[in-house]
Amino acid sequence: MKELYGLHDNYNNKLIGSVGCYNHRYFFPLSKEDLSSIKDWRNTQMDILRQWRPLTDRNQENWYHVVSEDNHQVIFSIKECNQDAATQLIGYCGITNIDYINRRGEISFLVDPSRAEDLILYQPDIFAVLNHLCQYGFDRLNLHKLFTETFDFRVKHISLLEQFGMHLDGVIREHQYIRGNYHNSVIHSILQSEWNQIREV
């Protein structure tokens, strides 16, 4: 497990300013410089998001201010480091809808569409994200549970969630209307105790 998910990188080889690192993916606090790319990626992947209209620059500015002040969500930019030690934004992730009373939060994750279509890139991307968010959510925020919602046509994404160790909680039938059809929402989760077992393997 450690070698597969890049845990040998775990916080030992960070770039300055990064919050964490897994398998050469670095996690930084969200910055204004990231907003334009994230807006474009969200607008081209609306079908996999709970987003019903294209975002504008103003939407992104408002979202950035909300994220900066709201302690019920924490958002990170995901960057790779090239041979010249320069970083390139490849996506963003976070924990949203944090409920501190019940100690749970929802996983959010999106990468550049070109990476999402390339399983060779996408698999290590999602494993790095899940490792980072579990580490942050369980160890730093002391959450009990992290969960995620995925539309049923994202078969490869669902498979990767389960390969990581996410538990299939259930299916909400015909929950999202996308391009003329209703789709099921598939709910996965991981508990703090399960994460402890995964990272010890």
pLDDT, tens digit, 9 for 90 and up, residues 149-167? 999 999 999 999 999 999 9
Kindly give, in sequence order, each residue whose CB lies less than 8 Å from that of residue 170, ignoring residues fewer than 6 positions away: 187
> What CATH code would you report for 2-200?
3.40.630.30
For 71-133, the DSSP string reads TT-EEEEEEEE-TTS-EEEEEEEEEEEEETTTTEEEEEEEE-HHHHT-HHHHHHHHHHHHHHH
Residue boundaries of the structural domains of the chain: 2-200
Among 149, 159, 157, CA closest to 111: 157
pLDDT given for residue 86 in this prediction? 60
Q: Write out pLDDT tens, residues 78-128.
A: 998 765 556 799 999 999 999 999 999 999 999 999 999 999 999 999 999
